[in-house]
Amino acid sequence: MATTVTRIEKLVGKRLRRKEDPRLITGTATYVEDIKRPGMQHAVIVRSPHGAANIKGIDTTKAAALPGVSAIFTGKDITHVGSVVCGADLPGLRKPVHHILAQDRVYFVGHPVAVVVASDRYIAADAADLVEVDYDVTQAVTDPEKALAPGAPAVHPEWPDNTAFLYHQTGGDIDKAFADADVIIKQRITSQRLVPNAMETRGVVAEWLQADRALTLFTSTQIPHLARTILAGQLGIDENRFRLIAPEVGGGFGSKLNVYAEEALMGFITMKINKPVKWIESRRENFQVTIQGRGHVDYFELAAKRDGTMLGLRLKLIQDLGAYHQLLTPAIPTLSVLMMPGLYNFRNIDADVVGVFTNCVPTDAYRGAGRPEATHGIERMVDLLAAELNMDPAAIRFKNFVQPDQFPFPTATGLNYDSGDYGATLQKAMDMIGYDDLRKQQAAARAAGRLMGIGISTYGELCAFGPSPATPAGGWESATVRIEPTGKVTVHTGTSPHGQGQETSFAQIAADELGVPMDDIIVLHGDTAIIPYGIGTFGSRNTAVGGPALYYALQDIKEKVKKFGKMLLDAEEVTFENGVCRDPKTGKEITIQTIAGAAYRAMKLPPDTDPGLVATKFWEPSNFAFPFGAHIIVSEVDRDTGEIAIKRYVAVDDIGNQLNPLLVDGQLHGGAAQGLGQALWEQAVYDDNGQLITGEFMDYCMPRARMMPWIESSHTVTPSPVNPLGVKGVGEAGTIGSTPAMVNSVIDALSTLGVRHIDMPLTNEKIWNLVNGAKA
């Protein structure tokens, strides 16, 4: 039985290319739109062209007469189907009932009114055009501040003040902070609505098997299990007869952390017509009806001493909710409140949040979900304070940072920051970019009349959701490890990765723990018939919550492997390393592969041990994890065109330990692109009638390759004590850190012209007007 133990190199921490890529680079992966079922029908949805209207009648006769049309449904057909679910709750929250097809009113452009089902998507689209809806258009309101004004049109007639909720949080002694202040800085800061725009739009294929009362539903989602529970409730079917599959998912960024009307609608249709049905969202629909992000108007007041010490922060937060609540809509601004203090050592806060209904599509979680808004706010306020006090923006940050010896650090908002060295990331970023020298260059540039800016953002975020009491649906995650009789390993994760790379990074963890080659491990996810219940992928939680669940499942299975090893080696004690059990006394060894065979053959079993090698672990963190970092951007503004050139971008991020730095870089770059998108280019614009003016890529400016700067990325490593891997989460960090660095940079560039603040996006037009207005 003796084998030679070859020391296997540890894989965690290595830059490994991904296991999931071969199917993706050869065009052979299966996304929802690639799925075909026998007899499958195609659905096209008739949507409201108006922001607010009463439906006086719907005439489907012409549409129904078109050959190939198999069914048409309108609001009256679906009254027994549960309405769209909001999983968040706040005291006094007003929850409008959002049927999966409109009843007698529509309240945003894109509101589904009818659905046409046909044998072919072209026919379904033709027929949808023939559905005649008679609307009585009413006054819409799309600006949240206007919606709050007395006499504004009511989005929901039963709530004329358009207020969905009021939420107040306070910590410390805010009145004293302001009484003690030498300076008080006030600023209105907006975070505009953004369109998440995953490159794959949403889509559903639903198939009902009447004989088994069983529904199979493929949907492009980040939360397969939660979606199944919710949809089963809406459709009134048994969860265990409902298989929900998230196949290959082409990006989500929060927009698929949701359960949408169309998912229940397709379930309803297949049950009605007894044939499979497919619906694929068009890009225009994706703009109009998939959730949008941000949508804040924030009024900040910062109290400070003349030496730059920050004392307290007041916030009035107006959250544009849209016309109704999607899954987490009202909860998102409460995350902003939690992160209000940023990385700073003051303990007095006061936040008033008002959630406002508008005739727009709902806002909900979009990459960062509440934390980018908070970070942008506090990072702008710090810069405003520095400007007011004539201090360097780096110096004022160093002065106010929570110090390394203060962790775990309880914040005024009730969080407990896990670990960090905030000064170290900023110092490293400053060293990388040559900060002192840059300030000299800037002085020279200014003397020459050039508009050069240096912008800093030092961000923190709460992620790795999270302890269950702090989440709407459980904050744990599950993992199963199955060692097959040959010793090959199958891992199940309850997370639902869709680009984040856990098929690779989780295989790295398993390879190290079990001592088997990467190629012997596969990681499965996203199928409720195979995977034990899981929470899903959002809030930078795959690695930081799903990873530890896997780690602990691996520990359990290692124990069992050792029991078999001990029995098979007839040893008193064994070690297990590099996939080999060893009796230290005799030097005899047995491999995990041989043990696996014996565990299933079960000729003999260790005492109190069952056959087989399977372990499942549900693991819940005791706290969030708190990544942080410092981003510095050097920019220059062209006086003649208003164009902003990004000269350098340095990012130092601390996300704790890194499983695979190649994947970490990818997350940070992608995050930064979305953050710069918000700072410079992107904005969802509704006009006063409720029309979405930026409803296509033609009108909504997405970051493209030539617009993105080269990102010089580095790290510090402060392991999180919250989980055994010491990881913090990286999915949202780049988005949160980049936006204020960019905006601060441009405002720094224009500060010589007296510019104090600019709301995003910093379009050329806006900048040109500022520069040239300032000249005049």
Partner 1 sequence: MTKQIISVTINGARQTHEVEPRLLLIHYLRETLGLTGAHIGCETSLCGACTVELNGKAIKSCSMFAVQANGAEILTIEGLASADGKLHPMQEAFWNEHALQCGFCTPGMIMVSKQLVERNPHPTDVEIREGLDGNLCRCTGYQHIVNAVRAAAKAGA
* Least Å from the CB of residue 644 to ligand FES: 25
Of 227, 95, 217, residue with least CA distance to 538: 227
Q: Smallest gap, in angstroms, from Cβ of residue 669 to ligand FES?
A: 11
Q: How many helices (H) and strands (E) does the chain have?
A: 19, 28
The answer to whether 227 and 57 are in contact (CB under 8 A) is no
Site mask, ligand FES, residues 491-530, x = CB under 6 A? --------x-------------------------------
Tell me whether residue 286 or residue 359 sits nearer to ligand FES (CB atom): 286
Our CB check for ligand FES shows the closer of 131 and 733 to be 733
In whole angstroms, give the CA distance from residue 158 to residue 121. Answer: 39
In angstroms, what is the minimal distance from the CB of 350 to ligand FES? Answer: 41
- C-beta of 697: minimal distance to ligand FES in Å? 8
SS3 712: strand
Which lies closer to ligand FES via its Cβ, residue 499 or residue 536?
499
Interaction site with partner 1 (CB under 8 A): 17-18, 20-31, 33-34, 121-122, 197-201, 248-251, 253, 280, 282-283, 498-501, 662-663, 665-666, 668-674, 696-698, 702-706, 708, 710-711, 734
Q: What is the DSSP string of 273-332?
A: HSS-EEEE--HHHHHHHS-BB--EEEEEEEEE-TTS-EEEEEEEEEEEEESS--SSGGGH
Write down the least CB distance from residue 498 to partner 1, Å. Answer: 5
Q: Nearest 5°: phi and psi at 262?
A: -65, -30
Angle 299-301-306 (CA atoms, 0-180°, nearest 5)?
155
Nearest to ligand FES of 48, 674 (CB atom): 674
Q: Residue 182 or residue 519: which is nearer to partner 1 going by CB?
A: 519
What Cα–Cα distance (Å) separates residue 36 from each residue in 126, 128, 210, 244? 21, 22, 19, 16
Of residues 304, 321, 305, 324, the one with CA closest to residue 313 = 304
105: nearest Cα among 322, 363, 323, 284: 323
Q: Choose the one of ligand FES, partner 1, none that binds residue 500, judging by a C-beta under 5 to 8 angstroms depending on kind.
A: partner 1
Q: Nearest 5°: CA angle at 342, between 166 and 407?
A: 120
Q: Looking only at residues 187 through 226 of this chain, which bind ligand FES when binding is defined by CB under 6 A?
A: 199
Evaluate whether 115 touches 266 at the Cβ level (below 8 Å): no
498 binds, options partner 1, ligand FES, none, Cβ within 5 to 8 A by partner type: partner 1
Nearest distance from residue 17's CB to partner 1, in Å?
A: 5
Contacts with ligand FES by CB under 6 A: the residue count is 3
Radius of gyration of the chain (CA): 28
Max Cα distance, the chain (Å): 92
> Do the strands 644-654 and 711-715 form a parallel or antiparallel pair, or are they unpaired?
parallel
251 binds ligand FES (CB under 6 A): yes
249 binds, among ligand FES, partner 1, none (CB under 5 to 8 A by kind): partner 1
Q: How far is the CB of 404 from ligand FES (least distance, A)?
A: 37
The residue number whose beta carbon is nearest to ligand FES equals 199
User: What three-state secondary structure class fits 115?
Assistant: strand
Work out how close the CB of 361 gets to ligand FES at its nearest, in angstroms, rounded to a whole number.
22
What's the CA gap between 156 and 484, in Å, rounded? Answer: 57
What is the smallest separation between the CB atom of 667 and ligand FES, expressed in angstroms? 12
Distance of alpha carbon 51 from alpha carbon 695, whole angstroms: 14
Shorter beta-carbon distance to ligand FES: residue 701 or 758? 701
Helical H segments across 143-282, by residue range: 144-148, 174-180, 224-235, 261-273
Q: How far is residue 522's CA from residue 553's CA, in Å, rounded to a whole number?
A: 15
For residue 669, the partner it binds in partner 1, ligand FES, none, with Cβ less than 5 to 8 A by kind, is partner 1
State the nearest-atom distance from the C-beta of 373 to ligand FES, in Å: 24
Nearer CB in complex with partner 1: 317/742: 742
Pick from ligand FES, partner 1, none: which does 698 bind, CB < 5 to 8 A by kind? Answer: partner 1
- 149 or 199, CB closer to ligand FES? 199
CA 207/CA 272 separation, integer angstroms: 11
**Residue carrying the six token digits 């006394």:** 585
Q: Which does 368 bind (CB under 5 to 8 A by kind): ligand FES, partner 1, none?
A: none
Q: Return the number of the residue (135 or 681) whose C-beta is nearest ligand FES.
A: 681
Chain contacts with ligand FES (rule: CB under 6 A): 199, 251, 499
